[in-house]
Amino acid sequence: MHGEDFFFQALVYLAAAVISVPIAKRLGLGSVLGYLIAGAIIGPYGLGLIGEEGQDVMHFAEFGVIMMLFLIGLELQPQMLWRLRGPILGMGGLQVVATTLAIGLVGMALGLPFPTALAAGMILSLSSTAIVLQTLNEKGLMRTDAGQSTFSVLLFQDIAVIPMLAIMPLLAGNDPGAGGQAGHASASAAWVETLPEWAHTLVVLAVITAIVIAGLFLVRPLFRAIARTRLREIFTAAALLLVIGIALLMTKIGLSPALGTFLAGVVLANSEYRHELESDIEPFKGLLLGLFFIAVGAAIDFQLVASRPMLIALLVAGLVLVKFLVILALGRAFRMGADQNVLFAASLAQGGEFAFVLFSFAVQNRVMTSAVADPLVGAVALSMALTPLVLLLNEKLVLPRFGARAGAERAADAIDVKNPVIIAGFGGFGSIIGRLLRANGIGVTVLELDSDKAELLRKLGLKVFYGDASRSDLLHAAGAEEAKVFVLAVDEPEKVLHMVHTAKKHFPHLVLFARATDRTQAYELLDAGVQHVYRETLDTSLRAGVDTLRALGFRAHQAHRAAMTFRQHDEHAVRELRHLRHDAGGYITEARRKIEDLEQLLLAELRDHPEHVDAGWDSAYFVEEPGKRE
């Protein structure tokens, strides 16, 4: 029967995830919120499909957080981590201290004793590593200033859990019962619980040093030997063994297992097996994190919320508001931009998964009573569940306004030149066009929306003007009335469309040349009336295809003619298929027909043009690269 129960629970969890997450993604809510809603529905306070065993699942699923930090460590080379030492220690330390003090003072003002208020402040200063990082990763925000700062603070919070566990029994005073409970709670740190503090410190340093040395000198030869077996499942087993072993080792010495695996990931970031480790562990991480989010949703005590709705609502609102204001002030002190600062504060304005453990630990040590801890646990769970929704509202409603104001903090540059060509965006695409035109004596006016990039380009000797090319007044100042060509080389698709509409409305004589990152953007630009659309990877891909054909024995004229035919056919297909892209069935049918037509056309050309006809194309002069000619 036990086996049947296990399979039934697995069926419930998997069905909840498979049904809820695609719906949430379709509605633009993100996968995390989908998991949380699924957990709330199937949990003991919802449909009751899962019961008290949900807490055991939570402990198991927390291993997903450990795997996530290991993968993040693999992405962070030691040099990058060293560059983040300031935000980790400075910003992270200040956040924990300032939030602890703020929440502690609020607690004392509400009548809590000093030890209880301080314990609550420490616990509530922590944020949810799993929910925040997963949400920021999904939205592609980890590389932003806010994303890097958020990661730094979360990493420090994971470290801060260790001294919090040590401080908690001290807040209980000399209560003999508290000491016994503390000893029971720390039983997992079996190797060091009887050691004096100095010996405990030496053991911790020795273990961390051993992890670094093993990562540098032992793990690589081990993985090299395993890779020679060419058995994928053994490599996967070795990767899991590494993560589980380090997590267990860190637990035995009383440290955060997530911190240990993160350190191991950083050590292996330069390893040649980094990508293999990522691909092997990623599926396990994703499933366990999903299980963790479902368990968090199931842990929300709706009976408690229903019995004391005003208290829980005030606790959630108070927690989010206090943390948001403290972190917003911290970001401003570290001179973050307005839009990034709002994102930074919104990302961390919730409780964390460690709160479930720490509140239980605090009650066991008699630092606070269950009557105080239970509503706070409910508020933490609700604040975690609301985080993806808060970030979604921030993205849709708040950031556009703050972003506009942030961009307006610096006025556009005064433009004192007029040229026949205006280029918006001077990254990899726009800079090549601009340099080619200038090298041929054609004047170019460059507009760049990124003020830092504009400043850097000016230092390199290029005349670049800061400003938003979607504004008609700026285009007028740039001489759009006299210009002939407007090249749109900006990264953001929405911004490019805005520029197209502005140019079409105010300067219809301009010939527009626009960059598209993919077919979808190409369709949108063609619909907007842009006739000259360039997909950024098309030419490079065709050039690589030509070189591949030649490496396989095709003559130069054959490979180039095939590429020209492919290009013409593909460009024609893009213009025709754009009318069908909203009809899924018709689009797929027509796209398949065009693929087959192109293959038949190329095979027919290969038959109809024997290679000896144009043999003159393949003289040594034409075959060799221009840079290799004598």
Q: What is the C-alpha to C-alpha distance for residues 80 and 100, in angstroms, rounded to an integer?
A: 29
On the question of pLDDT at 499 being above 90, the answer is no
- DSSP track, 413-446: PPP----SEEEE--SHHHHHHHHHHHHTT--EEE
Confidence band, pLDDT 50/70/90 cuts, at residue 81: low
Q: What is the C-alpha to C-alpha distance for residues 178 and 173, in angstroms, rounded to an integer?
A: 8
The predicted model gives 476-490 an average pLDDT of 87
The predicted model gives 426-443 an average pLDDT of 82
* Helices 370-393 & 129-138 angle (0-180, nearest 10): 10
Confidence band, pLDDT 50/70/90 cuts, at residue 79: low
307-362 pLDDT, tens digit each: 888 998 999 999 999 999 999 999 888 888 787 888 899 999 988 877 877 887 78
> What pLDDT does residue 181 have?
38
Residue count of the chain: 630
Query: Where is average pLDDT lowest: 63-77, 220-234, 285-299, 394-408?
Result: 394-408
The predicted model gives 168-172 an average pLDDT of 77
> What pLDDT does residue 615 have?
46
Instruction: Determine contact, residues 81/333, Cβ cutoff 8 Å.
Output: no
The predicted model gives 609-614 an average pLDDT of 51
Q: What is the C-alpha to C-alpha distance for residues 171 and 367, in angstroms, rounded to an integer?
A: 6
347-400 pLDDT, tens digit each: 999 888 778 778 877 887 788 888 888 889 888 888 888 888 888 888 777 766
> What pLDDT does residue 560 have?
84
The predicted model gives 104-118 an average pLDDT of 91
> What pLDDT does residue 58 have?
61
Backbone CA torsion sign across 224, 225, 230, 232: negative
The predicted model gives 47-74 an average pLDDT of 69
DSSP 8-state secondary structure symbol assigned to residue 583: -
- β 485-488/421-424 pair status: parallel
419-431 pLDDT, tens digit each: 888 988 887 788 8
Q: What is the C-alpha to C-alpha distance for residues 510 and 488, in angstroms, rounded to an integer?
A: 12
186-229 pLDDT, tens digit each: 445 556 667 776 777 788 788 888 888 887 788 878 888 887 88
> Which is more confident, 623 or 217?
217
The predicted model gives 275-296 an average pLDDT of 77
Query: Where is average pLDDT lowest: 119-133, 177-191, 316-330, 556-570?
Result: 177-191
Count CA atoms within 13 Å of residue 141 on its CB side: 22
Question: Where is mean pLDDT largest: 242-256, 340-354, 407-421, 467-481?
Answer: 340-354
- Alpha helices (H) in 299-337, listed in sequence order: 302-307, 309-333
Per-residue tokens: 29: 């809510």
Q: What is the C-alpha to C-alpha distance for residues 605 and 614, in angstroms, rounded to an integer?
A: 13
Q: What is the C-alpha to C-alpha distance for residues 554 and 582, in angstroms, rounded to an integer?
A: 39
Question: Where is mean pLDDT largest: 213-222, 267-276, 293-302?
Answer: 213-222
Domains and CATH numbers, the chain: 2-202+282-402 (1.20.1530.20), 415-535 (3.40.50.720), 537-630 (no CATH)
Query: Where is average pLDDT lowest: 128-137, 403-412, 483-492?
Result: 403-412
Q: Which amino acid is at 628?
A: K
528-551 pLDDT, tens digit each: 888 888 887 788 888 888 888 888
Instruction: Determine contact, residues 484/420, Cβ cutoff 8 Å.
Output: yes
DSSP 8-state secondary structure symbol assigned to residue 627: G
Q: What is the C-alpha to C-alpha distance for residues 128 and 157, in angstroms, rounded to an integer?
A: 10
- Alpha helices (H) in 336-441, listed in sequence order: 338-348, 354-364, 370-393, 399-408, 428-439
On the question of pLDDT at 406 being above 50, the answer is no
> Which is more confident, 554 or 581?
554
> What pLDDT does residue 416 have?
59
Q: Which amino acid is at 586?
A: G
Confidence band, pLDDT 50/70/90 cuts, at residue 20: confident
> What pLDDT does residue 266 have?
76
Confidence band, pLDDT 50/70/90 cuts, at residue 609: low
> What pLDDT does residue 613 have?
45
- Reported in sequence order, the residue ranges of 170-277 that DSSP labels E, i.e. its strands, are none
pLDDT averaged over every residue in the chain? 78
Q: What is the C-alpha to C-alpha distance for residues 204 and 196, in angstroms, rounded to an integer?
A: 12
Nearest to 540 by CA among 562, 563, 519, 521: 563
What is the chain's alpha carbon radius of gyration, rounded to the nearest angstrom? 30
Per-residue tokens: 48: 């009751």
> What pLDDT does residue 103 have?
93
